[in-house]
Chains A and B, each alone.
Chain A
Amino acid sequence: MRFIEKIIPYIPLLTKGLGITLELTILSAFFGFIGAIFLVIGMLYGNRFFKILSTGFVTLIRGTPMMVQLFLIYFGLPGIDIRLSPLTASIIAFIINSSAYQAEYLKGGFLAISKEQLEASYSIGLNKWKTIQYIIFPQALRFAIPALSNEIVYLIQYTSVAYTIGLPELFYISKNFASKTYMNIEIYVFIGIVYLILIYIVTRATEIIQKKFYIPGFDLSHLK
């Protein structure tokens, strides 16, 4: 009861925090996806230079923790005279991180498409880029939907890490609340439920999207 009394004045702040969490998630998912398309094309169809560059980038990003990347960008870059605000730093860090993971998921989708389809497409006169655009991409994207949904879930959860650099997102606000009221378990369970609701919405939404874009008679599940 005491908890409800204390949390009510905090609701505007928490809502603001939720807004920042969502903003960060949506921006990173969207721009991460665009980055991932370039990365995956570089990894699979680029020349030697782009192949090494994009594969190296993905390996390095996937091989280090998200939080270290965030620290390197926010606390490290001032060492070479680049100063960013917490919001800019976390948006950049999350876009970079997400693009590498999404590239790996998309790559799985790209590779699932049979060679015969490529041959068929070349034989009817489409060039490499048109083949990617019309034949590979629409199928690969459908194939990658579950993985991309996981990535959004992952982003929602890990945006909480941005509290370490002082970004006032949902977790930062709750931590603030906890240190003022000492109601640790109550606030963290409460905020955990908020995250669970967000994640439930995302998973349900992707299920619906997946059904909507399902091509009757064309089932990719056998490739799994």
Chain B
Amino acid sequence: MEIFEHNLLFLFKNMPMLLSGALTAILLTFTSIIIGLVVGIMVTFFRIYGSKFTKKLMFAYEWLLKGTPPLILIFIFYFGLGNYLNLGEFFAAALALGLRSSAYQAQIYRGAVLSISTEQTEAGLSLGLSRFRTFYLVILPQAIRLSLPGFTNEFTIVLKDTPLAYGVGLVEILKAGRDILAQQLSAAIVSGKVTASLNPFIVYLTCALIYFVLFEIFYYSLNALSKKFQIPGFIFDK
């Protein structure tokens, strides 16, 4: 019981460290998702309206990024590009996760765009809008709403991928947990008390709990958002 209290007290003292890790994880998720959104929309546009060659190129882009393990992408951006361009661990991870997400997001948006009738494109073109403006003004606002459920899913996947940045030393939740354990171990060695009493199980369980809470918060709020923006009468089944 005493050990249990000691653990809780220790965790309580180190909560700021875990929470700042959580903040980093949230920031990383948002940055990656935004990179994925911008690049993903461009890929969608070229995949649908591009020439034969660009279509193939975009297909290859999607296939490559979906097929490579995210961990390898992070390492390529951090260590591989490190010789030429130092991105720092945060942006290396954000770029790797973001570009991977762009491939998945492009797939989600393509499904949504293709489910909007071609008559709408024709109508847009006949009004004198350019191809790009038709896409941007007519198709995209609808497609974004239709793709919100898929987007929610993708958002939580990126959130769950953030601990991969541990590999390049970014202090997110998991790394913060590990640092807390390491700190207490070195403190125990310095003070001469060999009995390291902080239980790693409790520390990692707390980390898991923080991820779970974040996951549930984003999952439910994004789901509520997609319900709110649902187009009335427009049933979209994937």
Residues of A within 8 A of B (CB): 60, 63-69, 71-72, 75-80, 153, 156-158, 160-161, 163-164, 171, 175, 178, 184-185, 188-189, 191-192, 195-196, 199-200, 224
Does A196 lie within 8 Å of B80, measured CB to CB? Answer: no
**For residue B64, which residues in chain A have a CB less than 8 angstroms away from its CB?**
196
B55 within 8 A of A: no
Does B212 lie within 8 Å of A196, measured CB to CB? Answer: no
Assembly CA distance A164 to B175 (angstroms): 11
Does A191 lie within 8 Å of B211, measured CB to CB? Answer: no
Assembly CA distance A66 to B166 (angstroms): 13
Assembly CA distance A63 to B220 (angstroms): 12
Does A63 lie within 8 Å of B216, measured CB to CB? Answer: yes
> From DSSP, what is the main secondary structure of chain B's interface residues?
helix
Does B75 lie within 8 Å of A71, measured CB to CB? Answer: no
B225 within 8 A of A: no
Does A185 lie within 8 Å of B83, measured CB to CB? Answer: yes
- As a 0/1 sequence over residues 186 to 211 of chain B, the CB contacts with chain A under 8 angstroms (1 = contact) are 00000000000001111111011001
Assembly CA distance A184 to B92 (angstroms): 14
Number of B interface residues in the complex (CB < 8 A): 44
Does A192 lie within 8 Å of B238, measured CB to CB? Answer: no
Across chains A and B, the number of contacting residue pairs, with CB separation under 8 Å, is 117
Does B69 lie within 8 Å of A160, measured CB to CB? Answer: yes
**For residue A156, which residues in chain B have a CB less than 8 angstroms away from its CB?**
69
B167 within 8 A of A: yes
Does A67 lie within 8 Å of B204, measured CB to CB? Answer: no
Segment touching A, from B9-17, B130-138, B157-165: B157-165
Q: Which residue of B lies closest to A158 (CB)?
A: B69
Assembly CA distance A65 to B211 (angstroms): 7
Among B68, B72, B166, B216, max chain A CB count under 10 A is at B72
Assembly CA distance A184 to B174 (angstroms): 25
Does B72 lie within 8 Å of A195, measured CB to CB? Answer: yes
**For residue B67, which residues in chain A have a CB less than 8 angstroms away from its CB?**
153, 157, 195-196, 199-200
How near does chain A come to B236, taking the closest CB pair, in angstroms?
A: 12
**For residue A175, which residues in chain B have a CB less than 8 angstroms away from its CB?**
75
Q: Which residue of A lies closest to B77 (CB)?
A: A188
Does A188 lie within 8 Å of B211, measured CB to CB? Answer: no
**For residue B211, which residues in chain A have a CB less than 8 angstroms away from its CB?**
63-65, 68
How near does chain B come to A208, taking the closest CB pair, in angstroms?
A: 18
**For residue A75, which residues in chain B have a CB less than 8 angstroms away from its CB?**
178, 181, 200, 204
